[in-house]
Structure 1
Amino acid sequence: MVLDVPAHQRRSMGRLLGLIGAAGILLLILTPAGYADFFLFLAFYILLSAGAALCIGFTSHRFRLKRGPVDVEPFDYAPWLGVAALVTGTTITSFLMFKQFVMPPRGFPLDPALAAFDRWLFLGRDPWMVTHSLIGGWQAAKLLDIFYTQCWFILMYCFPAIAIALAKSYEIRLRLVSCWLASWILIGSVAAWILGSAGPCYYNALVGPDANFALLNQRLAELGRSAEAAGVTIHTLGYQPQLLSTFLNPRLEAVGGISAMPSMHVAMAALFAIGGFQIRRWLGWVMTGFAIAIWIGSIHFGWHYASDGVVGAAMMVALWKATALLTRARPAPRPDYR
């Protein structure tokens, strides 16, 4: 049975699409990103997210048919999954424009303070020295690389569709998708611009000379060579020079942009944990472990200072609590889950 989409849900869909649509148009007008490149990336990411939403929606629907009635408020999947595809594709394209064209002129004034705070926090040592002393082999680096690149990217990209397919009520669905969207704007863009910083792996190239971070880059290069000797590629190490090249020669690319504080990787992983707890308690704890692994990886590879992840996760928790205001006025859902 296909359910009609209630008016309050249609309004929510419209607000989500209107918010990211307005941000995309503004960035297209204000940045030197070409219209052809913008619409090419937009079409690609929307098609990719539409395919992911279709697969997730179909799999979830088949599972529920096989399992029978579950504790999920009934709703029409199709329009919500369509909104997820549009929001995801437009958000990623807009974020790439912001990070690659708006962030570079900001510069990186806070790196010295963040580096000093990390050293104070870790009793005079850089956090990366601690992780490399505990898990210094290429095998551990490869495991963190899988979490940090492949697993994180898939979960990040599919999260809106997963939230829509698995959330137990309209309220939870709206809050999770709203958090995902708002985090790119408020954490990944606004806060990143205010807290302009490059991160340890780019310190010597973009901020100034620092012996400890030069040693970090040497250590990462050694890890990469050790992995290659074993026939293994640590992908995140290949992204670092690629992002630097794009930063020095601004152009719209699928991978580009440099900013450290706050960490969107950790912030998004915190949202995975929040979403996990809304579905199943055990899943929330698994995703909490994943978020900790992402935080460690962000330090281990020199992408972020330790404080970047703490601030990113705290901001995401604050966003989650703030989204409760979006649904407070809505009447309680019907208890009939037929």
Structure 2
Amino acid sequence: VLVWVVLGNVVAALVSSVGPAFVFPFYNDSTFEPLMNYLRTTDQTYPVWALVGQRALLADAGLDGPRLGSGISAFPSLHVAVATLNAIYLWRFGRLLRWSGIAFLVAIQLGAVHLAWHYAVDGYASILATPLIWMLAGWLSAPRRLPVTANAAG
């Protein structure tokens, strides 16, 4: 929950950025058009479902006011943050699950960049911030002993 609140709401609102898929529609900057053209060309042979989601988000962005699930925010990547949480959790369960979690994290990071949802730095920031949030959550949920005072003892 803290990852979604801190990274997905607080940091995302403070940094407010769009991913490569949205640079041209928002800023008329063609820097990422070769990647988008590649994805559109690939979609003619193999469905690229990311394009469907990106079109839906772009259509929602043109409507009056916010809609549930319609926000466009690239930094930091919650895709990568959730995969990082999975890897942290699975780390304790032995080699197979540990490395499966790491492989999944790497696949999500690569896919998020390759499918134009995120810049690489969006994922790197999540990979660095998520363990810190994990440790904070552990500290917040740890049992605390109240100090014993003379009045309370007797």
TM-score normalized with structure 2 length: 0.85
**Aligned CA-pair RMSD:** 1.7
Q: Are 1:300 and 2:114 an aligned pair?
A: yes
Shift of 1:235: 1.6
User: Which of residues 220, 226, 232 is equivalent to 2:39?
Assistant: 220
Question: 1:257 & 1:306 partners in 2: Cα distance?
Answer: 20
Question: 1:207 & 1:284 partners in 2: Cα distance?
Answer: 41
Report 1:228-239 matches (<5 A).
233-239=47-53
Report 1:1-338 matches (<5 A).
181-210=1-30, 212-227=31-46, 233-249=47-63, 250-253=65-68, 255-330=69-144
TM-score normalized with structure 1 length: 0.40
Shift of 1:328: 3.6
Retained in 1: the 8 A contact 2:18–2:74? Answer: yes
Question: 1:239 & 1:275 partners in 2: Cα distance?
Answer: 29
User: 1:179-226 CA distances to partner (integer Å, 9 max, x unpaired)?
Assistant: xx011110001000111110111001112323x312221111001112
Shift of 1:282: 2.5
3-state SS of the aligned residue for 2:17? coil
Question: 1:251 & 1:322 partners in 2: Cα distance?
Answer: 31
Bigger proportion of residues as helix: 1
Of all paired residues, the percent bearing the same amino acid is: 31
Unaligned runs of 5+ in 2: 146-154
Question: 2:91 & 2:98 partners in 1: Cα distance?
Answer: 4
Retained in 1: the 8 A contact 2:91–2:97? Answer: yes
Question: 2:113 & 2:20 partners in 1: Cα distance?
Answer: 9
Equivalences, count: 144
Question: 2:99 & 2:144 partners in 1: Cα distance?
Answer: 29
